[in-house]
Amino acid sequence: MDVGSKVYFVTSAENGLDLLSPAGRAVARTLAAWAQYEGEQKRLRQLSKNVQLAGHGHWQFSLRPFGYERTGGKIVQVPAEAAVIQEGYERVLKGASYRQLAVDWNSRGIKPLLGQQWQGSRVQRLLENSHYGGVPTYKGQEVDLDEGKAIQWTPILTPRQWKDFRELKMNRKRKRSWAVTPKHLMSGMLTCGVCGGQMFSHAQDVTTRNNTLNARGNPVRVPALREDGTRLKRTTYVCVDKHCASIRGEYVDALVRAVVLKKLADERVTMALRPNDEATPLQDEVADLQRRRDDVTDLVGEGIMDKAKAREKLADLTEKIGRTQARLAAIRAESPLSDIRLAESIPERWDALEVLERRRIIADLGLRLTINPAAKGARGIDPDTDTKYTERAWALRRIQWVIPED
């Protein structure tokens, strides 16, 4: 629509656009289209650059994240805030809610960077930041580091802790997956021998006979009660998909304990636990860096190297040693196998471990158990004793277990 106004724009031309003529309007549309094209191309170039920076291990932010600050061009931890974040992860992994953390932090006077109060949603956004686990992301998507690149900050969590936290979040949306705070040793780690499905723990009533008879003349079984009147329960592992098989949890757990301790008692196994192909080159790298640092010190002592240059070289080597040792410590922290082999008494150490740590050891050893269904009819006769199998022995005959050889 012609409103009688002239249009001017920044260009090398001396005159503006004449929108009163068809040619002028055509030129205007063309210039606008190319201006939009250039703007979109600039945006794509910037996005590509941001992804490249993330792939090179850079953490890009304008407002500093809670727990970190940029000092001298480097991203460093703020110790007090980093301790709060570490505490938050530990408590969430033990079952605390985001809201509980928010209420507690507010009561202790811990303030977020913006605003005065924490809310559950704010704590959730904080802890879901993958950079705290050493995982670079761009727009919420994980970015693989380019070859030879490393993150440019020290993560607050070990890789194992971040994996546990991710599993916890996924478990809220995914049916029948491992919990991060499991109560039962083998829940989700057993295979049904009929349908091949997973078997999970189930609290089952313990029953006893009473003096009442049913229509067939058999004693009626009723739930056993504790002294406080609550029902007595016992753990049973059940095929939840088709109910093909079930087995008393205590029998399975006792067998697993015996098998694992026997495996760990083999010195060849404990020496080979977690030799870790990733750890070996890092150990060699640390040793090489330390030798180079010693060489620099010797050169300064002999007057061959300038002290100012030596200080710069030593600072660089010390920083590299620190980063490499941190990566090495993170790798060693990923499995409790590295810790249990150093214990004076492996059985005592095993019994003292949290259920989650025991499950990791079972998984790392590659132990796999399949539970077959119970045989119909009465218990059979043990050929070794010529007596009826005990309930425990009869149940153990249904377990097939495999553990890889060294």
Q: Provide the whole-model pTM.
A: 0.47
Same domain? 211 vs 231: yes
User: In the predicted model, what is the mean pLDDT of the chain?
Assistant: 78
Question: What tokens does 235 get?
Answer: 């753990």
Same domain? 286 vs 258: no
pLDDT for residue 110 is more than 50? yes
Same domain? 253 vs 390: yes
Tell me the backbone φ, ψ of residue 47, rounded to 5 degrees. Answer: -60, -45
Mean pLDDT of 320-337: 66
pLDDT for residue 332 is more than 70? no
Same domain? 209 vs 291: no
Of 312, 334, 356, which residue sits at a domain end? 334
Domain containing residue 74: CATH number: 3.90.1750.20
Q: What is the pLDDT of residues 162-219, one digit of tens each?
A: 887 877 765 444 444 444 557 789 988 899 999 888 888 888 888 787 777 777 777 7
Mean pLDDT of 18-42: 80
Can you list the positions of beta strands (E) in 111-260? 137-138, 141-142, 190-192, 198-205, 207-213, 219-223, 233-239, 246-248
Instruction: Say if 330 falls within a structural domain.
Output: yes
Mean pLDDT of 356-376: 86
Contacts of 90 (CB under 8 A, 6+ apart): none
Report the alpha-carbon distance of residue 161 to residue 91 in Å, rounded.
Answer: 12
Same domain? 93 vs 153: yes
Predicted pLDDT of residue 252: 94
pLDDT for residue 12 is more than 60? no
Mean pLDDT of 123-144: 82
Can you list the positions of beta strands (E) in 230-386? 233-239, 246-248, 368-371, 381-382
Number of domains in the chain: 3
Same domain? 288 vs 370: no
Of 286, 311, 334, which residue sits at a domain end? 334
Of 137, 171, 205, which residue sits at a domain end? 171
Band of the pLDDT at 66, cuts 50, 70, 90?
very high
Same domain? 99 vs 200: no
Can you give the residue range of the structural domain that contains 303?
A: 275-334
Q: What is the pLDDT of residues 226-280, one digit of tens each?
A: 787 788 888 899 987 778 899 999 999 999 999 999 888 876 665 555 444 455 6
Predicted pLDDT of residue 172: 47
Same domain? 279 vs 364: no
The helix-helix angle for 249-265 and 355-365 (nearest 10°) equals: 60
Is 159:334 a contact under the CB 8 Å cutoff? yes
